[in-house]
Amino acid sequence: MLYVIGLGLSDEKDITVRGLEAVRGCSRVYLEYYTSILTVSIDRLSEFYGKQVIPAYRETVELESDEILRDADKEDVAFLVAGDPLSATTHTDLILRASSLNIPTQVIHNASILAALGSTGLQLYNFGQTLSLPFYTDTWTPGSWYDRLEENLRVGMHTAILLDIKVREQSEENMARICFTAPRETPLRTSAISSGPLFPPSPSPALRVIVIPVNRDLILHSPSFLEAILPSLSPSLSPSLSPPSTPLSPREYQQRSVSLWVPADTAPHSPGADSSTNLPDS
Amino acid sequence: MLYVIGLGLSDEKDITVRGLEAVRGCSRVYLEYYTSILTVSIDRLSEFYGKQVIPAYRETVELESDEILRDADKEDVAFLVAGDPLSATTHTDLILRASSLNIPTQVIHNASILAALGSTGLQLYNFGQTLSLPFYTDTWTPGSWYDRLEENLRVGMHTAILLDIKVREQSEENMARICFTAPRETPLRTSAISSGPLFPPSPSPALRVIVIPVNRDLILHSPSFLEAILPSLSPSLSPSLSPPSTPLSPREYQQRSVSLWVPADTAPHSPGADSSTNLPDS
């Protein structure tokens, strides 16, 4: 059996009981380690599970999946994914490969950033399509995400914009050379300058999601909701006004975006250190 | 501390380790018991937690929340919600009440049906606004949800339609009389007849979500993905073509909807029995 198991949004205790039992019964445990950065180290996960966790980089999953699936028809193998395994980065390819080899699979769902957007106080029913804001380079400044944002605004929907993250692929050059370095994130301030007033400067180097709210439920209950819920979220996830502490009128508030971000103090983001996110590598 | 804890999509083992630890440390444990029906009985939850679980009906939560929050500034109280606590039915009101009484709160996220839609093989980024299809009555056949569907179709987005469920409120008459009976669900066949060919007859009395896919990623990988993933999902959640076993051409397939449903054999749905869902009471 190949178990594809979501780890949730924060640390080793966000796995479900069902997921933990599955992991503990597996002979090999892989962690998808190239589309997100966890708040918790591989050593701490290994200790909690009582199993050595093997980091699976992009080249392992995309080119060497035979090794992950080896003997999975005779024994149990776990493939761990931050957040929910079928929500952002979906790894359907691995499930299809297992299926073609007649290896049974089981998906164990968990909290996804796409559902945790409810932490902003906005009703998830009122979100339109989710956007990814890719890294800009000197030769590539994609604008298609902005057209999608306009489509959402036109039908009165909120928009969640996921920010790109490069876990190891620092440049096209080192991807080609298979030479990787420490994680980095979308330089939001740069995007903000080029995209107009909707985008705030990043309140934190660990900012991962921008939410653009559109309709009246934000005015009706979100300011007080945000105030109430800010201290109540699990350590890696806090909604924040941007800039965080500015008092806003309801009208101004509606025109601002809300950010879901990882507070720097709970998720130190130094090169090589583990940090927190649940975002896809787009 | 008031803990607001998601239970995930299936049974007692879908709670997170963080959530389970919180529940076991609480002096009172309430279960939100009026917007969803679980696959697991309250007795089984109580046994697994080692705590007596108290069902909280609508009147308890909306009119007697003081009892839930009693002494929560001095001891720990848990409020359990099927799925994720801030996704579908959000219970923000309870969090705001706690906040106004200076009771600290903590939200513990879990899998939501809104993220588990990824089980259909469709990319969640490509879903537009989520719709609720309410119960039709002799005097009320709301059509606004259909306009929202058209907005999604116009911008090429998939649509998830959540089906109404009446856990205890069987009619306006017995709501007024505070006289409740067994759960019932949207009579989908009736809605299908009045809404045109997009809607299949319900493949199961436990059908809860219809997904209307729009764009090409369904053709590209969903048929094989669905085939691979059907046996791999946790017991309470299976995507299904409708009708489930008809072979379809890619064009026909694109024009059909996909249903996420609760197989009748894993979720017996007799009056009074516990069954499974994660849907809001709209």
Asked if A10 and A94 sit in the same domain, the reply is yes
Q: Are residues B137 and B209 in the same domain?
A: yes
Tens digits of residue pLDDT in B70-81: 999 999 999 999
Same domain, A162 and A224: yes
Name the A residues in 108-137 with CB < 8 Å from any B CB.
Answer: 108-112, 114-116, 118-119, 121, 123-132
User: Domain check: are A93 and A7 in the same one?
Assistant: yes
Please answer whether residues B83 and B177 qualify as being in contact, where contact means their C-beta atoms are separated by less than 8 angstroms: no
Residue A186 counted as domain residue: yes
Task: Give the whole-angstrom CA distance, residue B54 versus residue B70.
Answer: 14
Domain-ending residue, one of B85, B111, B137:
B111
Same domain, B122 and B225: yes
User: In which domain, by residue range, is B172 found?
Assistant: 114-261
Chain A residues within an 8 Å CB radius of B126 = 129
How many domains does one find in chain B?
2
Please state, for a pLDDT cut of 70, what percent of chain B lies above it: 52
Same domain? For A130 and A232 the reply is: yes
In a domain, B59, yes or no: yes
Asked if A105 reaches chain B (Cβ–Cβ under 8 Å), the answer is yes
For residue A92, give how far its alpha carbon lies from the nearest alpha carbon of chain B (Å).
7
Least CB–CB distance from A92: residue in B110, B112, B121: B121
Q: How far is A126 from chain B (nearest CA, A)?
A: 6
Interface contact B247, partner A, CB < 8 A: no
Pair A29, A14 in one domain = yes
Cα end-to-end span (Å), chain B: 29
> Mean pLDDT lowest for which of A190-199, B30-39, B239-248?
A190-199
The answer to whether residue A34 is domain-embedded is yes
- B223 φ, ψ (degrees, to nearest 5): -60, -50
H or E segment to which residue B30 belongs: strand B28-32
A123 to chain B: closest CA residue: B87
User: What was the pLDDT predicted at A75?
Assistant: 97
Mutation choice for B interface testing from A40, A107, A109, A233 by most B CBs within 10 A = A109
- Nearest Cα residue in chain A from B92: A225
Partner-chain contact A13 B17, CB within 8 Å:
yes
Asked if A85 and A169 sit in the same domain, the reply is no
Spatial CB neighbours of B148, under 8 Å, sequence gap ≥ 6 = B129, B131, B159
pLDDT of A62 reads 78
pLDDT at residue A261 is higher than 80: no
Q: Is residue A269 part of a domain?
A: no
Cis peptide before B201 (omega within 30 of 0): no
Q: Based on the domain organization, do B44 and B134 belong to the same domain?
A: no
Q: Is residue A31 part of a domain?
A: yes
User: Is it the case that residue B54 has pLDDT exceeding 80?
Assistant: yes
Specify whether A131 is located in the same domain as A210. Answer: yes
Statement to judge: residues B79 and B158 lie in one domain: no
Distance from CA of A214 to the nearest CA of B (A): 13
As a whole number of angstroms, the distance between CA A2 and CA A56 comes to 15
pLDDT over 50 (residue B247):
no
Nearest CB among B92, B104, B233 relative to A231 is that of B104
* Alpha-carbon span B112 to B278, nearest angstrom: 7
> Is residue A38 domain-resident?
yes
Q: Are residues B256 and B133 in the same domain?
A: yes
What pLDDT, in 10s, does the model give residues B187-230? Answer: 443 333 333 333 333 333 334 666 666 654 443 444 555 555 54
Q: Is A88 an interface residue toward B (CB < 8 Å)?
A: yes
**Residue A274: inside a domain:** no
Of B20, B115, B124, the CB nearest to A17: B20
Chain A / chain B CB contacts < 8 angstroms: 198
User: Which of B53, B86, B111 is the C-terminal boundary of a domain?
Assistant: B111
Contact A112/B115, CB-based, under 8 Å? yes
Range in A69-73, A247-251, B168-172 the model is least confident about: A247-251
B78 touching chain A per CB within 8 A:
no
Tell me the CATH number at B186. Answer: 3.30.950
> Rounded CA gap, A187 and A136, in Å?
8
Q: Collapsing DSSP states into helix, strand and coil, what is residue B186?
A: coil
> Which of A111, A145, A170 is at the close of a domain?
A111
